[in-house]
Amino acid sequence: MNKSKKSKPTKPPPTAKSAKKPAAVAAPTFKTICENRKARHKYEIMDAIECGVMLVGSEVKSLRNGKCQLEEAYGRVKGQTLWLVSCDIAEYPQATVWNHEPKRPRQLLVHKREMSKFVGRANEKGLTLVPLRMYFNERGIVKCEIALCKGLKLHDKREKMKKADAKRDISRAVRRRI
């Protein structure tokens, strides 16, 4: 019996149709730790930026468990640095002796350009820095979205609620007729 070598089939050269397409860019995935929902009701948001947060190891572990509150927190500018004050990150129970202080001020990490823009506007009368949410980005790094806000008056809030009610009623009426 004669053994002949089998030739491997060759792939045809890529054509326009079979050329590999670039992979679709996936939407960034965030894992939200906590959100300050009251801020959107109490304040008019002028501008927002994303900042990094300087944390201790036990704080990161506690954040992974979702133990954080932003309701009473606010931003403070001291010199050329931005600080997150009164943010409550609960103690991590397994850290024992090396645990962190829950309401200690934490430094926010911002680019110099963004910082200079924010410092100038934050010193204006009636504007305040309010953290909107804290989350893990796609690389697993803790980020905080902080906004430059102006407080709303009671009549502004009532007007906003009236507009939302009217819009809701209109959308219901349109749905019923169709």
Domains of the chain, by residue range, sit at 31-155
Percentage of residues in the chain having pLDDT higher than 90:
57
How many angstroms separate the Cα of 67 from the Cα of each of 41, 53, 131, 133?
Answer: 23, 16, 16, 13
The set of residues, in sequence order, having a beta carbon less than 8 Å from that of 103 and lying 6+ positions away, is 86, 87, 88
Statement: residue 7 has pLDDT above 70: no
Q: In this predicted model, what pLDDT tens digit does every residue of 15-52 receive, in sequence order?
A: 555 555 555 556 667 899 999 999 988 899 999 999 99
Q: In this predicted model, what pLDDT tens digit does every residue of 85-103 receive, in sequence order?
A: 999 999 999 988 889 999 9
pTM beyond cutoff 0.85: no
Superfamily of domain 31-155: Small protein B (2.40.280.10)
